[in-house]
Amino acid sequence: MRRIPLLLLLTALLGLATPVAEAADAGPDRAAKPAPRALFFGDSYFVGGGCSPDRTADMAWLAGSELGYRPVVRGAGGTGFVQANPEYDVPAYLAQIADGALDVRNPRLVVIQGGSNDLAQPVAQVRKNARKVLKIARSKYPQALLVVVGPMDTYGGYSDSIPIRNALKAVSKGMHVPFVDAMKWTAGRDDLLCSDYVHPTYEGHVYLGHLLAKALAKRGA
């Protein structure tokens, strides 16, 4: 008479799954866990503008995707920590946030970018509003990695951008938030810019998205 292996006999008696069945259950039929979300909030360098209006092909989206996140990109062109965009009736950052711009379910990474449109605004007010924005973001998502990306300056010269960059960097340091200095990322690379010499082309966004991904990775993203 054929002898039944003890393991199989016990499995049958106790109603347990066999090791083979357990391995099969852990295989590709089991739904993959979705990637974590990353929230990117900023101006047209993140949401798109000029000759590159598609936010799903711009630097923020590309950086998030490269890092393995599900990117969510919010914000509005022409706006900043103080600056509104009256042409399109879009308020500055704090009012956008009050309207729900940062409302995303459980992001693991939150990136706040801006300052490029605040160059004509009082630096003290930029500093004050930036601190408020970061406090709101940290309060909403205390478990997320919060990162600030400073202004980009595609014109060069940098005399107007430096005070804004320094103010945002100081606020970030004071709140222990990692800061990314993107001011000179397009220096000497007019080939990456649209004909307005303000917004990157889609090819430029590929280049900038990779720079942003590397900078965020160095800060723990």
The helices-and-strands tally (H runs, E runs) of the chain is 8, 5
The CA distance from 189 to 114, in Å, is 21
Task: Write down all domains in the chain, each with its CATH number in brackets.
Answer: 37-218 (3.40.50.1110)
Strand, helix or coil for residue 170: helix
Strand, helix or coil for residue 72: strand
Strand partners, 73: 40
Q: What is the pLDDT of residues 94-117, one digit of tens each?
A: 999 999 999 999 999 999 999 999
Radius of gyration in angstroms for the set of CA atoms belonging to the chain, rounded to a whole number: 24
The CA distance from 177 to 55, in Å, is 25
Contacts of 11 (CB under 8 A, 6+ apart): 17, 18
Of 172, 176, 50, the C-alpha closest to 115 is: 172
Write out the H or E segment, with its range, that includes residue 109. Answer: strand 107-113
The per-residue DSSP string of 39-91 comes to EEEESHHHH-BTTB--GGGSHHHHHHHHTT-EEEEEE-TT--SS--BGGGTB-
The CA distance from 169 to 181, in Å, is 8
pLDDT of residue 31: 66
Tell me whether strands 145-149 and 179-180 are parallel, antiparallel or unpaired: parallel
The CA distance from 43 to 41, in Å, is 7
Q: What is the pLDDT of residues 122-143, one digit of tens each?
A: 999 999 999 999 999 999 999 9
pLDDT of residue 137: 98
pLDDT below 50 — which residues of the chain? 1-26, 29
Which amino acid is it at 24?
Answer: A
